[in-house]
Chain A
């Protein structure tokens, strides 16, 4: 008799996630009972109106905001019960984040190459390893000819590519992209996502992409729709493509 195969634990497992912010008029609930499972290598698009809790969900997954209620497990880390040091290690080893204002994640005083080196300085990787990783990433994201350029000299699309390279510098298992294609035309957006697919396709890095553009859903496997901090829908991408 063939033994029953136990399915592997999902990379991300969220149950009844709640996150509330204090305000002068009373607490504001940004997330209310969100459930989510995300396997390795899955690409998930998070959609919803402004204020629906998309960025808050990403902040919680990034380890920047602690959950107020529920459980969040990412790659075996319980994000509700991390010590300060564990949280640092989690951010360093598990997650990469491109913020909505992607330029805030780029250090203006450093060159393109140094920007990709900077996140790696916290780990114990060798100098050659760090340089090799930075070179590979920047070449793959079409920035191989701009290694010595300053961020201020980059075009908007190049700056987005650099932000992605920086987020991938430590080899994360979960990549969070917050409206990375906002402000780009469709061709440029698709080019960026194509390059990104090429980078993460074989590493089984899970991607969570916050977007308002439903036409980009052909780049993802699933679509999660949030409304008022709750999951409105969690469907396959084919069902969401207009």
Chain B
């Protein structure tokens, strides 16, 4: 046995290591610590000092987090693809609910602006009764609905009256001449109203009234005319001067338009009650108006708010008051319209996030494949699965953090753009956080679980050079279906709208997609099953049966993308005919989603075509020597691809059409037009996919037997 020390190389230098290597046999591992340095402790300290000085700027070290970052740098294409998938998912997952909420709020504000508000009326005999009525109703409204109903104007009405004299000249009654209705508007606060009335009483006489210019022209009156009014039912006259004309709407909010054929007069409340005392029976109809405050009203679902208002109306009517107008009906109508829209949008969001999840999972698996080949070596050298997992988490964590960092500003920008739409509350941050947190949590859970399972199933044995790790069909299947934890987190959150009922169709969409993929995988098309002994078909059939997972990912992505396109295309086409800005914004968002899904489907197909082409040609290379021609390989590949495409496009079309039929998103257009737009979008998708596949499929001039790969290594 030769035990001579290794010869010292020139230039090794007097490091501790170099000295050890040159002078004595150097033990491996930590054995250095156990061996005394030649020359005693003093020399050892000196050598150690020299060594420390030399090691400090030494070669780049390594840590587990550094290994994780190294994977990102080693596979830049895969890392970039994963970053893109994650960023897109975060942006869309955050933006779509934001647009939905913004649209809903804007539509609610528009609805409330159009609705009449709540009006409560009661006959009162005097100013005190008026104040009491006002106080009681205000308290009741506040107790039932809080700040959601903001008090508007309070008024008193008295009529019909007729013009007895103008400037001292009698005005005989003439057919067609409008009768008069006197109205008084009280200030917002009851206390102010009372003091105002008291001041008016104290001033006495010299009463002034106002009316609209149009009514004054109809009656032949001018500003400054002295008028005397008398109740139609008979009684004494009451005189006042026409002090001014107004624009034509009665009152500060236009809520008390006089009846048709009646001219309106406005006067102080004290004068109104003075006038009422002249009439037999002499009562004034006191009225209170309330408007829904959009900022506070949006806190409750419209349907529930309508129910609360109905309850209040019933209570008011039970107390003998009249409620001529209420916003409850408008709110109920709004609720019904919004339910369909938001259900459609939530389903769309669920589909988009699900696509992102599936695509991210596939790309992450591909990225980690590269690491797992190295991890197999390290596992064989004693690394535990947790340590392998830690590197995987670091790898994914870098990309995840990058995606979040990119998505948050983008979503913030979208939030700002959504805030440009007039709406009660421009602060979109709660929706933004809520929207982005769902895909974020779902993807994080999925990726963490997938990487854990991958690390657990990582083999502890070095792989052959240039071969990919083969964790086995079971491990890959487990990774492929790992969408389930993510889906479990995602779907309930995505389908829980702002108080709207859960959407059964939306809940079924992912399940239906998974079922369709399963059916497609279990039953290859008839062409493959009944193809006899044609070598191309036999090869294709063998590939489809033995490696369904090679096609499952792209099939699922294609199916979901197709369903999204079918669902969003009619809405995107309806953008030009949308009635409101809010609806138009949503339709434009649908167009963006449609475009994104198309690009994703094209990219997925192109990558799949490229990968299967390269893989099959490598696998079949060894068969070339046994007479398998390039034409047969090409035909076999075409059969495999056609099967994948039919599964994806067919299943996705069915799913999308079913969802569209259930939600009717294209309600703005006839159903057949909606179907037409969906079909047109599908044609664009198919044509683009065919073109992309043609470009991606780079066929070699001939199969090279020397490039024959290990089929068994390719799961």
Contact = CB atoms under 8 A, between A and B. Distances in A.
A145 B11 CA distance: 9
A140 B465 contact: no
B12 to A, nearest CB: 6
Nearest to B374: A107
Given A118-B62, A121-B387, A135 B28 contact: no
Interface in B1-22: 1-6, 9, 11-12, 15-18, 20-21
B62 A198 contact: no
Given A107-B377, A202-B25, A218-B1, A133 B32 contact: yes
B383 A219 contact: no
Contact of B28 (A90, A142, A144, A205): A205
Interface residues of B, number: 56
A195 B61 CA distance: 25
Contact of A139 (B17, B30, B380, B464): B17
Interface in A131-178: 131-133, 135-142, 144-145, 147-148, 166-172
B384 A85 contact: yes
Contact of A170 (B16, B24, B382): B382
Contact of B15 (A93, A125, A133, A135): A135
Given A105-B377, A144-B18, A113 B27 contact: no
Given A135-B55, A136-B17, A139-B18, A122 B378 contact: yes
B40 interface: no
Contacts of B12: 139, 144
A99 B462 contact: yes
Contacts of A203: 27-28, 31
A103 to B, nearest CB: 6
B644 to A, nearest CB: 30
A62 interface: yes
A186 interface: no
A197 interface: yes
Contacts of A169: 28-29, 381
A200 interface: yes
A148 B11 CA distance: 16
A122 B26 CA distance: 23
Interface in B418-472: 460-465
B59 A148 contact: yes
Contacts of A113: 58-61
Interface in A102-121: 103-107, 109-111, 113-114, 117-119, 121
A127 B462 contact: no
B135 interface: no
Given A107-B374, A139-B17, A147-B59, A122 B387 contact: yes
A140 B21 CA distance: 5
B382 A140 contact: no
B27 A135 contact: no
Interface in B60-93: 60-64, 67, 70-71, 74
A213 interface: no
B15 A62 contact: no
Contacts of A64: 380, 460-461
Contact of A136 (B2, B3, B32): B32
Nearest to A87: B460
A212 interface: no
Given A104-B462, A136-B20, A139-B17, A97 B380 contact: yes
Nearest to B19: A139
A201 B61 contact: no
Given A119-B381, A122-B382, A170-B381, A198 B3 contact: yes
A148 B682 CA distance: 54
B376 to A, nearest CB: 9
B18 A201 contact: no
Interface in B342-390: 374, 377-385, 387
Interface string B271-314: 00000000000000000000000000000000000000000000
Given A132-B32, A136-B32, A198-B4, A121 B62 contact: yes
B62 A91 contact: no
Most chain A CB within a 10 A radius of its CB, from B18, B27, B60, B378 = B27
Contact of B377 (A84, A104, A195): A104
Interface string A200-215: 1111010000000000
Contacts of B6: 140-142, 194-195, 198
A200 B156 CA distance: 108
A43 B381 CA distance: 21
Interface in B25-46: 25-33, 35
Given A88-B382, A121-B62, A140-B6, A104 B55 contact: no
Nearest to B20: A136
Interface string B636-679: 00000000000000000000000000000000000000000000
A220 interface: yes
A89 B385 CA distance: 12
A129 interface: yes
A199 B24 CA distance: 9
Contact of B60 (A114, A145, A218, A220): A114
Interface string B693-705: 0000000000000
A139 B59 CA distance: 13
A73 to B, nearest CB: 18
Contacts of B31: 171, 203
A43 B376 CA distance: 28
B30 to A, nearest CB: 6
A50 interface: no
B28 A88 contact: no
Given A92-B381, A105-B462, A171 B29 contact: yes
Most chain A CB within a 10 A radius of its CB, from B16, B26, B383, B464 = B26
Nearest to A144: B12
Most chain B CB within a 10 A radius of its CB, from A62, A97, A107, A169 = A107
B627 to A, nearest CB: 25
18 contacts: A64-B460, A104-B377, A104-B462, A118-B67, A121-B67, A122-B378, A122-B384, A139-B20, A140-B6, A169-B381, A194-B2, A195-B6, A197-B2, A198-B5, A199-B25, A199-B26, A200-B27, A218-B2
Closest 4 CB pairs of A and B: A171-B29, A92-B382, A168-B28, A104-B462
